[in-house]
Amino acid sequence: MTQGTQGKNPATSTLWDRTRQLASQEILQTALRLFARQGYEETTIAQIAREAGVSQRTLFRYFGTKEDLIGGSEEQFVALLTETVRNQPAEAGAWEVLRAAFKAALSLHTSPEEALERFRLVHHTDSLRAAYLGKRVRCQEELLPLLEARLTPSGTGRGQVRAVVATAFACFDAATATWLEGNGQGDILDLYDQGLAVVRG
């Protein structure tokens, strides 16, 4: 349901959306608390649903899989990054639009504390890390033609565009790892900028 749906005024839709958002946030916070206390692999969907006060069926309406509680839906994540890149000004450079995509991805977290907990789980849980790497590869492939369209007029070949995208993602991963080592001190995008400056420099 979206605002402007026939038969619903914007205020009603907004209230409905906010209710869903609050419910999903409560489920997420419950899951993170259980994962921190007893581990990701040891925590079951049934436990999360019970602790959150919802049925497993309701939980799956908000989060399609247990993994989605940490990494989010792959389809939504890829769509967010590609739409962000598409919506950047035509004159914006490749590095600029990729940074905007990473900024949009980070905005999915409601707080630095939540981001820290989720990134920790991904980095320290083999199954989540493998899923993240798969998602990253797909994102790079989906972004490739969008960046290629921006860079080809300047004479940049497909292989070079692929290297630009891969470099940006590698710098983002390095920034995230450094941020985790520092226990969430500083800003991931600042760390990303510093790393990219060295690579490009």
> pLDDT of 161-173, one tens digit each?
999 999 999 999 9
CB neighbourhood size of 29 (10 A): 15
Separation between Cα atoms, residue 174 and residue 188, nearest integer Å: 9
Separation between Cα atoms, residue 79 and residue 122, nearest integer Å: 21
Structural domain 10-66, CATH architecture = Orthogonal Bundle (1.10)
Decide if 171 contacts 200 (C-beta within 8 A): no
For the stretch 29-78, pLDDT in tens is: 999 999 989 999 999 999 999 999 999 999 998 888 898 888 777 888 89
Asked whether the whole model's pTM tops 0.75, one would answer yes
Decide if 46 contacts 56 (C-beta within 8 A): yes
What fold characterizes domain 69-200?
Tetracycline Repressor; domain 2 (1.10.357)
pLDDT at position 6 over 60 = no
Domain ranges of the chain: 10-66, 69-200
Residue-level pLDDT at 16: 64
**Overall average pLDDT of the 136-141 stretch:** 93
